[in-house]
Each structure stands twice: as structure tokens, then as C-alpha cells.
A and B are shown apart, each in its own frame.
Chain A
Amino acid sequence: MTVLTVAGLTLREASRRKVLRALVVLTLALLGLSAWGFSRLSPQLDLTSGESRLVAAQVLNLVMFGLSLIAALGTAFLAGPTLSGEVESGMALAVLARPVRRAAVLAGKWLGLVAFGSAFVALAGVAEFVVVQLTLGYWPPDPVTGLLLLAAQTAVLLTLTLLLATVVSPMASGIVAVGLFGATWIAGVVGSVGDVIGNEGVARVGTVSRVLLPTDGLWQGAMYSFQDSSLLRLAGVQGTSPFFGTAPLSVAYLAWVVVWVLLIGGLAALSYQRRDV
């Protein structure tokens, strides 16, 4: 009950704050730019159909990475203010003095933000698919799984931001979360370089970072669903790559993501419960 009330409140907050407008503008800019870019791309390059599909899959991944970045930034910068910002301003006082459990308030905020992030990913993602279909004639093989994984990526980052927001200031929690998000992506790139040069130690950097913060792992899985698996053989990619998902996510990894979210969410609830407001 409390969870749903707070989730609704959080959704209303997200929809009424300026961050939504910023998100819409950024997304439209990205969609517009990609549409323009793709429409210029196809006639200029003289490619075989296989090559052009490869290019299409690659640019789709690139743009989707941009979208996931916007979703991550947007929710991270929503999650910080909605939790620690409310504590700092005193807005939390009146709410937490009600007969509510803090864990329920936190869960409600989490649910509201996940719903918001997922809706954004779904809308913007489908719009981008349509753009690629119209300009390059490419439709990803498994769009639903891919979007779900992107939504999960947003949820993962969101959970981390909420945990951070229970201990540090709103802005700091957003910045640290986005920083970590970037760091795991770079670690993923480093790991794929390790794969390419056959250095196991370097490759392990990516693997370990994907376990510590599953955003990059989920992103790899999402990319895999956006591209035709036959393209991989064409591109001759081996191991992981920053621009191609080379393997579907294992069930074990997805289970770990769930455990990770529960673990970090539980920690956040514990930390919020113990906090003086």
C-alpha cells in the first residue's frame, strides 16, 4: 500500500520535474541526429547487403548506448534528490512521521523510478528502432529482450544511486553512480581489449567489473539482442567487444543481477532505516 502510494508519488514527481523535459529534449536530439546521420550514411557507402546490415547493427548499438546513458543519467539524477534531497530539505519529515516503514518508502521510490526508467527506455528504444528501420531497413532480432535488459541496467544503476543517496548528498550520489557506471563500461572495454590481445589478466578486469556492477554486463546482453548473430561471424569478432554483444547472457548472470539488486537494495533500506532525518 505504502509502496504503491510512494511509487505513484515518485512517478508524479518525475513527470512534473524539469528533468523530464531535459530527458525529452536530449532523447529527441539523439533520435533526430541519428535519423539524419543514418539517412546520409546509406547512400554514401557502397556496401554489400551484409556489410550494410553490420553497419546498421553497429550504429544502432552506438545510439542505444547513448540512450542507455541518458536513461542512466536521468534516473541517477532523479534518485539522488528524491531520497537524500528530501531528507535535507525536510520534506521527508512529514512523510516519515506517518505510519510507514522506511523500507516501504524506499521500495516505493525504487519502484516508481524503475517504472519511469523502463518506460523511457521502452519509448525511446522503440522510436530508435523505427528510425533505423526507416533509414537503414534494419530491425533487431530480439528487441523485447534487449529493451528489458536495458531497463534492468537502469534499475541496477538506480539501486546503487539509492544506496549512495542514503549516505551522501543528492548531487554526490548521482555523480558517483554515473562515475561508477562509466568506470565499469571502460573496464568492460579494457576487458575486451584483453580478449583481443589474448591477455587473460586484462580480460579479467572486464569480467570482475561486470560482477561488481552489472550495468556493463547487461549492456553486453542488450547489444547481443539488437544484432543479428550471423553478423558476428561476418565481423569476425571474438571475445567481448565494446560495440558488439558476443554472447547471450547466462541464466547464472541474470540470477546474479537479481541477487545484486536485492543485496544493494537491502543495504540501502538498512542504511535509510538507521538514518536520522
Chain B
Amino acid sequence: MLLGLVRPDAGEVMLLGRPGPDPRAREEVGYLPELFRYQPWLSAAEVLALHVRLARADVPEREQRDCLALVGLAARAGDRVGGFSKGMQQRLGLAVALVARPELVVLDEPTSALDPVGRVDVRDLVLDLKARGVAVLLNSHLIGEVERVCDRVVILDEGRVAASGTLAELLGQRELRLRLGAVTAAAEARMAATGAVARSGDAFTVALPADEDGVTVPRLVADLVALGVQVHAVEPGRITLEERLLGILRHEEAP
């Protein structure tokens, strides 16, 4: 619908500042469909050249070849797409989505046909795009993939937005669960300095700052030990996106 492939029943689409039905709205968009098939009678390089022309982009041949190399198809540039495996066609699809220097890349299940190495390649690619300031709309059922690369997540349930927000917003604040003995007032003050503390018997829960940099927890533990506290257990208290997703889709209350 975003790309004008399917007609919406209602509502309107705005894409990169233009109304969706205007073809020019798609000038800066790269798209890898879930059902990826490319002209089997063309070679990989010819498919890219075709899409560059269709996108009215001015991309030199060298850059097109680099794009094929980026997805690991440099050696097969001259081969007919008809002889490609599904994984190779998906890699080609990624190259097609990226070749016309897009501002927005829409990837629909981009790793469905890829082996584990290919999946890591795609993840790195997406992170690279993100670093270059290209917006990526990733549609995926692979939650781990989403959790690793996405800034903002939208969870759809039967076509309706069930939840949306940044990962931190969706998953709630991170927290640290501790089981401690011989807790002194000084130790409690040390924990309170990190974040809000909740206590129930010898179990403490400390809220961690959202921009936690990886040293907060070890420092806190070291300081507690220095204060004579007996540390029995330290457990990072973050639910995974998968748990959250299942919670939402099974209509459980958010934690």
C-alpha cells in the first residue's frame, strides 16, 4: 500500500513528503518484496541497470558493480538470474533495493531464503544503512533480527497496530534484580544513586538508566561488595522483545 502496489480501502498515504499515488514519491525508495523474483532472462548486472533506469537515477556502472559486491554477487554479475538459487535471488533483490541510492529502504522478510551467514550479512547491511542515515523499514517475523537492528518497533496484530515505540519504550525500563544480605544504609543509598529501588525481603530491584553503558552494573556490584554487602545473585531484568510480543498478541497486560 505504501508503494502503491495494493489499493487501500480507506485513508491516505504520504511517502517522503509526497502523496502515495504520485509515482515521484517512490523515487528515493528501494524495495525488496517478500515474493522476490527478477527477470530470469536477464543477467544480475542487467537487472540492476534496468532498475537504475526505472528509478531515473544516475548511478555509474562501477557503483552498480559495487552494489552487487556488497551483497556477495560480484562473481555472478554476468550470469542469468534464471540460474540463481533463492538465496542468490534474495541477495540480488537487496542489491536492487539499494542500487538507486534510496533514502528509504523497505525490506519485507529480507532473510527468508538466506543461510545463517547471509542473515548476519543482511543485519550488517541494515546497520550500515542506518549509520549512513538511510531509513529502513524492516518487516520481519524473526524477532531477534528486529531486536538487534531496529530503533523503533511497530507490532501489528490482525492489521492493527498493537504496540509501537522505541525498543526501550516497548520493553519498559531495564532493571537489575539483586539478592543481597547484610545490607547497610550506605549500601541502600548507593543503590538509590543508580536508580529507584524496590525491596522485598532480601530481593532488591534497581531501575537502570535507559542509556546504560555497560559499566553501571559492575560498578554497583563492586561498590556493594566494598560496603560489606553479601551479593548472592545479580540478574539483569529485561524482557526480550519476543516475550513482549507474545504478551501483546495474547492480550496480556504489559509489565
* Interface residues in chain A, defined as those with a beta carbon under 8 Å from any beta carbon in chain B: 1-2, 5, 9, 12-13, 16-17, 89-91, 93-101, 274, 276-277
Contact = CB atoms under 8 A, between A and B. Distances in A.
Interface in B93-125: 93, 96, 106
A91 B39 contact: yes
A9 B55 contact: no
Interface string B26-51: 11010111011111011000000011
Contacts of A96: 3-5
Given A97-B4, A98-B51, A100-B23, 8 more contacts: A5-B54, A93-B5, A93-B33, A94-B33, A96-B4, A97-B33, A101-B23, A276-B7
A101 B33 CA distance: 19
A93 B26 contact: no
B152 interface: no
A270 to B, nearest CB: 13
6 contacts: A89-B35, A90-B35, A90-B36, A94-B51, A97-B4, A99-B56
A16 B96 CA distance: 22
B5 A94 contact: no
B37 A12 contact: no
Interface in B1-28: 3-7, 23-27
B24 to A, nearest CB: 6
A205 B37 CA distance: 46
A96 B23 CA distance: 9
Contacts of B50: 5, 9
A9 B42 CA distance: 9
Contacts of A99: 23-27, 54-56
Interface of B: 3-7, 23-27, 29, 31-33, 35-39, 41-42, 50-51, 53-56, 93, 96, 106
Nearest to B50: A9
B237 to A, nearest CB: 42
A277 B36 CA distance: 13
B15 to A, nearest CB: 10
A276 B1 CA distance: 9
Contacts of B53: 1, 5
Contacts of B36: 90, 93-94
A12 B33 contact: no
A93 B33 CA distance: 7
Contacts of B7: 274, 276
A100 B31 CA distance: 14
A94 B42 CA distance: 14
Nearest to A274: B7
A90 B36 CA distance: 6
Contacts of A93: 5, 31, 33, 35-37
A274 B7 CA distance: 7
Given A98-B51, A98-B54, A100-B54, A277 B5 contact: yes
A107 to B, nearest CB: 14
A13 B38 CA distance: 12
B5 A13 contact: no
